[in-house]
Amino acid sequence: MAHTGEKCPTTGRWQGDDAHHTIEHMKAGDTFPPCSHCKRSVNYTFLG
């Protein structure tokens, strides 16, 4: 589990846990963004 503002530990797809369920394609070292729809902080789960 990761959160908006934290650094990404693992390259891959991460899914936000709010109602929009946005999927971000992240690289290790990138900073997790807010939800791209509602701009709120979200938790991310690694999809792979």
Residue linked to tokens 């789960």: 45
Nearer to Zn ion, 3 or 37 (CB): 37
Least separation in angstroms between residue 27's CB and Zn ion is 22
Residue nearest to Zn ion according to CB distances in the complex? 35
Contact set for Zn ion, span 12-41 (CB under 5 A): 18, 20, 35, 37-38
Q: Measured between alpha carbons, how far is 30 from 12 in angstroms, rounded to an integer?
A: 11
- Which string of DSSP letters, residue by residue, matches 10-35? SSEEEEE-STT--EEEE-TTPBPPPP
As measured in angstroms, the least distance from the Cβ of 40 to Zn ion is: 6
